Amino acid sequence: MWALGSRTWTLGLTALALILLLLYGRLAAQLSQLHPATLQLTTARRLSPNLDVSGGGWGGGPGEGAQSLLASGGGGAFSLGADFDPSRAVIIYNRVPKTGSTTFIGLAYDLCATNGFHVLHVNTTKNSPTLSLTDQVRFVSNVTNWDQKKPAIYHGHIAFLDFSRFGVLRQPLYINILREPLERLVSYYYFIRYGDDLRPHLVRKRMGNKMTFDECVARQHVDCSAQHLWLQVPFFCGHHADCWEAGNPWALEEAKRNLAHHYFLVGVTDQMEDFVALMEFAFPSLFRGASRLYRTGKKSHLRKTAQKFLPSEETIAKIQSTKVWQLEHEFYEFAQRQFQWARRRTLQTLGDGGANGRVVDRGQNFNFEKIKPDVYVCVCMDVHSETAMLWYDVLPYVESRTTYHFL
């Protein structure tokens, strides 16, 4: 008799365990549908049943407890919810050549060990900015699944690649820096002839060629052709064939769309310090100390072209009359307006407001209120039934409920 009873109990417990496992799976699926704020409020309910989210927090001002919890992610550390985890963030910096990219990425390399993230250079064969279809699949797969290297910043001279085309749900964050198109071309022109102060002894491909940029334009030489000017637009346009057709208006519009919808931040070369500050305030866990390092270290002066001659007014007018420059300049102005808008909305300068002023984040200017209904997620057991029955539900929180055991 005892053996039979013991066997019955064993079968009953096994069945109960299976039921709980099934319920857990269904509960997890339903939890994934809830807004992160709801989940945070649920956590708050469990930690402090006296929390009042409709007005008056934990003894503070109106809603201070709930607002503080939501703003901090429930644990005091900044969090962007289940869909974005800073500890697993992937940032892609698809660097446009001669825009100051070495300066910025140098800061990342200096900070990565201290701040606990990885920096990886994407080196393409013959410095090609576009990838084959198979390499696109490999690149997306590696960046998405290489968990051991997260959080990470990938950087390289590579055109924009839309990860959503490959069914990736957790998108990387794109960033970039742009430069006035003619300035960028002139810098590149003299860079391949005279090199820079980063690697002064490296022989460049046009080393020894003394032709000035003015002479190049007058002779219509390939080094100052429209193809070399057409670079920032296609880098943002991406991997469509029309992106790389110099002067293509569709490519310009596609580049604008990608900047607006896929890039977290695009800075401009002559305001690098503000770009660094914005990245540090947005992602302090990654870029903590970047602004100080930029101001006090050598990174702000990294990689200056060794010798450069400014173009004449005649040359400038000739370049600016071309369709390619006009489209490139329109894109640069579009990016610059967005950067200035983001800067004004995010940063403010304390002190005299001049060069000696301290740049700070404007701080949080929103909060959550009037959150209804109060939601509590539970796995419930009817303790009054002769047969134990388990189910889960999403219920309004009622502190006096006695027929449920909240787990």
Which residues are known to be catalytic? Answer: 155, 157
Q: What φ, ψ does residue 385 adopt, rounded to 5°?
A: -85, 145
Nearest to 367 by CA among 59, 83, 53: 53
Cα–Cα distance list, 81 to 54, 172, 273, 386 (Å): 22, 16, 29, 41
In single-letter form, the type of residue at position 79 comes to S
Q: How far apart are CA 72 and CA 32, in angstroms?
A: 20
Strand partners, 155: 93, 121
> Are residues 403 and 384 in contact, defined by beta-carbon separation less than 8 angstroms?
yes
Q: Give the other-Cβ count within 10 Å of 73's Cβ.
A: 15
Structure tokens belonging to residue 171: 């998108």
Q: How far apart are CA 375 and CA 142, in angstroms?
A: 39
Cα–Cα distance list, 159 to 193, 204, 243, 291 (Å): 25, 24, 10, 27
Ordered DSSP codes for 161-208: --GGGGT-SSPPEEEEEE--HHHHHHHHHHHHHH-BSSSTTSPPTTTT
Q: How far apart are CA 106 and CA 100, in angstroms?
A: 10
Q: How far apart are CA 251 and CA 243, in angstroms?
A: 5
Residues counted in the chain: 407
Structure tokens belonging to residue 223: 């080094």
C-alpha atoms less than 13 angstroms from C-alpha of 33 in its C-beta half-sphere: 6
Cα–Cα distance list, 65 to 45, 51, 54, 243 (Å): 11, 7, 11, 51
The number of angstroms, rounded, from the C-alpha of 81 to the middle of its chain's C-alpha atoms is 15
Q: What φ, ψ does residue 156 adopt, rounded to 5°?
A: 170, 165
